[in-house]
Structures are given as C-alpha cells and as structure tokens.
Structure 1
Amino acid sequence: MSLLLINLAIVDTLILFIWTSQTAIPAFCNYFNGCLLYDRIKRAVWAYGWPFGTTVQLMGTWSIVSITFSRFVSVCWPSRAPHLNSRYQITMRTLAIHMGCIVFSSFRFAEVYIVYDKNGNMIYRKTVLASSVIYKYLYRIVLYYCITYLMPLSLLVYFTVRLCTNLRAMNKKRQEMTKKAKERSDLTFSLVVVVVVFIICQLPNPIRRLLYVIHGPFRMGCGYPNFYFSSWAVIFVNFNSACNFFIFCLCSPGFRRQLKQMVARRRRVQPLVSSTTVHGGSINTLSAQISGHL
C-alpha cells in the first residue's frame, strides 16, 4: 500500500506542477502586459504541454483505481491479498498503468505541429490525424471517455460500494476490534473519502472535453462556454490532487502515525551524521597538531 501511496503522491505533485504552470504563467504574463519568452513558446507549450498534462492526469485517475482495488482485495478478498497485493504485483500494475496511459495518450502529441511565419512567430497547424472525422469521434470522444471516465469511475463506484458495505459491518463491531483492525478500518474510510472527492472533482472535466470537441480549441475567449468550464475543470483537478494527502492525514490515524515515525527516523539520522563529522574533524585536528609537534 505504501508503494501505491508514494506513486499517487508523485503523480499528484506532477499534476499540480503541470496545470498550475499551464494556467498561472499565462495569467501572470497577461497581468504584467506580456512576457517576451513566454510569448515565443506559448504555442509550443499549448501544443505539447496540454497533452503531457492529460497523460499525467490519466495516470492519476488509474492510480486511484489501483489503490482502491488494492484495498478492495484486502477487505473483500483477504485470501487473495497475499498474491494480488504483493510488492511484485503492485509494481507490475503500476508500471502497466503508466505505460498504458503513455501509449493511449501518445496520439494527442500528433494532433498539431509547429510552423514559423516570416517574422519567426510560432503557429500551430492541425495534422491529418486531428482533422480526421473518424479520429475525432472514435478516439477523442468514444475511447477517451471510456478510458478516462466511464471505466475508472464505474470501477471506483463498484469498489467503493463494496468497501462501504464492509465498513458499516466493521463499525458495528468497532468496540471489539483490535488497534490494528481499527487502523485498517480508518484507512478504508479515508480511501472512500478520497474516491468520493475524486469523483466530484472530475465532474467538470467531461463537460469541458465535450465543449472542446463541439466548439473546437479556438473559441476559448470570454463569453464562450469553454472559457468557464476550462478554468473550473483545472481548479477542481488541482484541488483534488492537493487534498489527497490531507484526507489521509485527517481520516487515518495509522497514516499519521507512520508519517510521524518516518519523520522521527529522519531526525534521528541527522544527529548521528553530524556527530560523526564532529568527531572526524576533532580527530583530523588532533593528528595535525601531533604532526606539527613532530
């Protein structure tokens, strides 16, 4: 489980960095009447930065599914947990998710290409692939919605309902539970909260994608639906990535305890290193003094 949480933390950090930089930098440049460097590369950032962001966001979606599945196996299929939740299986699932997301999203990088006008300004043009009607409806609508929203959300709803059913049964016997069992129950509850927040925060994104397909990427100005839904979708995604860590901290005492132990271990290592350095320095000083006397 710790490996899955580390993977989720890395992906969430990447999502925050990518989407914040994609939205904050243009906003600051517009506020300060433009940035020369950003004006030169903004079309390249739009052409390749957004596909990269959607790739990482897809990794985050399926990482949530992987964590929920792992907890579902531990709670509902305990006999299969030693095999399905082994370190090897979790590592293979994580690698498969990342590779699958990269392969699926690789087509997004081939939708536009950059050309330069006579003044040296960047201009993006649609490729033949992006202009294809079959590609538009098959990949960008049907497959994209199935892989990004329909399949993961359906799995999350199923896993969450099963976990909630088990959680209610466990809460009835909470007084008889051991401390370790209570920590498992709290971890399950925190994961359910993470999934619920994730589903809520993902709701504006399908609407944004649908409007993007209908109106195209060029109607993004104030007054168009894309202008509002694009901003809210990014805000909700960033909020979701930022709050996962705090949800685990608030809802899972076991997670807080492990976090404190990890911080305490790091603090114990530092004095040992510094004391070794001091002793090493004193030994070197003493040897230098002896050499001087000799």
Structure 2
Amino acid sequence: MDSTTDGYFTRAPAAAAINTKPCVLQNFILGSLVGGFTIVPGLLGNVLSLIILGKERKKSPTIQALCLLAVADSMLLLSYLSMVAFGIRGMTNGYYEALPVGVFTSVYMYELARIFNQVSTFLTMILMWQRYVAVCLPHKAKQLCTVRMVNTTSACSSVAACVFYLPNFFLYSTKSSSDRFFYPVRRSFVLNTYFQTIYSLILTYLVSYIVPVASLIYMSVAILRSLKSHSNSAITTNSQNARKDLTKSSIAIVIIFVLCQSFQPIRRVLMWAYDSYIPKAKCDGDLQYFAYIPHIALMLNSSANFSVYILFAKGFRGKLIAILTKKTAVTPIDSRSNKNPIDNTSNTEATTSTRNCKKNHPPS
C-alpha cells in the first residue's frame, strides 16, 4: 500500500551512490517545464472562462456548474505549483537540497490536489446531470435544473470530498535525521489490512473512478442518442444550435475526464502492489518514471476545458474574440428568447427532446 520504509531516506551519504543527475533532469523537465506549461495556460484559460461565462451563471444551472468547475480546476492547478518548485530547486541547488520540497509535495500537496480533483469530478457529474435532465428528462427540468440545485449539490459534494480524503493527510509524518535529511515516516494504521483494503482500495476506487465514470458514460450515451435523432431535423434555430454546442462541449469534457482520470486507478494498483510506494517513486526507484504521469494527466484534465469551449461553442468563441480585440461581442440570440445562446434550458429543447427520450426513460 501507500507506505514507506525509513531505510531509503535515513542517510543522505548512503544514498549518495545513486546517480541523481537523471532524476534532477527528469524532475525539471516533467515537473517544472511540462507542469509549468500546463498550469499557467490552464489558469489563464479558467480565468477567461469565468470572465466569459460568469455573467450568465445566475441564469443557467449548466453555466453555473461550468463556473464552479473552472474554480475547482484552478485550485487543483495551484496545488501542483510545489511540484514545479521541486524541479526548479533541484536544478539550482541539487537533488538533496530539493528533497524536502519533494517530500512535502508527496505527503501533503498531492493529497490536497486529490481533494480538488474529487470536487472537480463531482462537478463534472453535476454538469452532465444538468444536460441529461434538460435533454432526456425535460418534464423534470423545472424542478432539477436550477442554479440553487447546482449550488446545493456542489457545496455538499465539496464537503464530502474533503471529509473522505481527510485521513490521507495523516498517513505520514515528516521527520529530519541528525544530518538534516528530510524524510516521511508512515503511521501504524497505514499497515492495517482493513484500512488498506476497504478505504484505500475499494472505497477510493468507487468514489474517485468507478461510480463517476460509469454514470458519466451512461448519461453521455443517452444524450448522444438524443442528439443523433435531432440531427435529422430540417429546421433549427440559433438557440437550439447553441444548446447543442453546449451539450457537445459537456460530452467532450467527459471524454477528456475519462482518459485523464484512468491513470489514477493504475497508480492505486501500484500503491497496493508495492509496500513502499513513495520510495519506489523517488530517484532510482522502480516507479520513478511513472510517478509524474498521473499528476500530469490531472493537470491536463483541469486545463483542457477552455480549449473545449473554443472548439465547440460558437458563442464562447465570439465573446473571447471580443475580449481579445476589445470589441462588443455579437452572438446569435433566438428571437423568441432573451437568453444567451450558451444557456441550457428552454421550452423548445424540452419539447423536442421529450419524444426521443421517453421510450428509454419513462417518467418516474
């Protein structure tokens, strides 16, 4: 499981025989360069998304979910800044001088990132639920598709994520040896078989990957079937096209989510297979090259949504161009509605969706 033995960390001179130059280079390239060039554009994209979508968030539950998702993704990216600092410090001061930053990052900051990632996961599920109800259960949209409902479920899921991952902050304590060598020490309950099997393996798998992925795939397939049936319609309005763009954006977010999150279960298996995961993931360990991949995948997932909006949402592109060129955005608006075209709720969508979804999803 995710435990560590003191032997790998206790004496810097004993570890001096290890060639640390490849590790320093790897930490700088993957942690600082790749991580930095993912975090900075990701933060910028999330800020621009909040600026563009923020004006409409009180009118649309889906847009409110997208704004909250951008905040959670930004917090995850910020929590990985210590990884960037670790690579830079290693290049400037050497591997062992940077090791305290690496240990602190592994023991605490990665766990903080996991909380924000779980919050982002719940928000992605809430986002897709809004689209699913609007497209396939339109007769329930007035009750379930509300900004208040999104805020309530988001707050509850955020608290649940913090509570669920709180024990992970107590898996290790950090100590310093007589020669100032900083290292983590596992706590006794980490070795408990029930704790490892029930909490760290079964429950973590279910909460972080299996349940979210299964539900997201189910809702995405149902929505895609509805979109396919709508594609045969000869006449579509601007607002209908905009809502389809938003639905496509949501599905693209799900696809990226599933791909990027798939590395976390692999990491959990390795943590279960190796009794001392953290030492194995350090310099000259068996898992040193894999250790960065799950974290980079999470950063990519939290940075990708802005690109998705640009690719699939015409109204979003128009407003982005307006901001960059300092002009007034011109976006298509349905003559029968005053809502922004990126809004997700309308009677038109509800009417056209009911016939295609009632067969598979009868009213409860």
TM-score normalised according to structure 2 size:
0.67
Map Cα deviations across residues 171-202 of structure 1 (whole Å, 9 max, x no partner): 121x3111101111111111111111111112
Note if contact 2:118-2:161 (Cα within 8 Å) is conserved in structure 1.
yes
Q: Cα RMSD (Å) of the superposition?
A: 2.6
- Please tell me whether the aligned partners of residues 183 and 252 of structure 1 are also in contact (alpha carbons under 8 angstroms): yes
Following TM superposition, by how much is the alpha carbon of 1:34 offset from its aligned partner in structure 2, in angstroms?
A: 2.8
Which residue of 77, 83, 94 maps to 1:16?
77
Q: Is the Cα–Cα contact under 8 Å of residues 86 and 101 in structure 2 kept in the other structure?
A: no
2:51 paired residue number: none
Q: Secondary structure at the match of 2:138?
A: coil
Match of 2:129 among 69, 72, 84: 69
Contact 1:201 1:237 in 2 (8 A): yes
Select 1:237's aligned residue among 298, 307, 320.
298
Structure 2 residue aligned with 1:133, among 193, 210, 215?
Answer: 193
Write out aligned runs for 1:1-294 (5 A).
1-19=62-80, 21-34=81-94, 38-119=98-179, 121-173=181-233, 175-215=234-274, 216-221=277-282, 224=285, 226-257=287-318
* 8 Å contact kept, 2:173–2:184: yes
Between the aligned partners of 1:48 and 1:141, the Cα distance in structure 2 is 19
- Tell me: CA distance 1:86–1:16, structure 2 relative to 1, closer, same or farther (3 Å): same
Q: Structure 2: 5+ residue runs without aligned partners?
A: 1-61, 330-364
In structure 2, how many angstroms separate the alpha carbons of the residues matched to 1:14 and 1:266?
31
Deviations 1:90-126 (A, max 9, x none): 1001101100100100010111112343355543221
Post-superposition Cα deviations, 1:153-186, rounded to whole Å, max 9, x if no partner, equal 000010100011011112121x311110111111
Q: Greater share of helix residues, 1 or 2?
A: 1
Structure 1 CA distance, aligned partners of 2:328 and 2:238?
27
Gaps of 5+ in 1: 269-294
Deviates more, 1:125-134 or 1:250-259: 250-259
| Structure with more contact order per residue of length (Cα contacts < 8 Å, sep ≥ 6) | 2
Tell me how far 1:2 sits from its aligned partner.
Answer: 1.9
The alignment-based identity, stated in percent, is 21
Structure 1 residues 221-230 or 153-162, which shifts more?
A: 221-230
Q: What displacement does 1:258 show?
A: 5.3
Q: Distance in 1 between matches of 2:251 and 2:322?
A: 24
SS at 1:172 equivalent:
coil
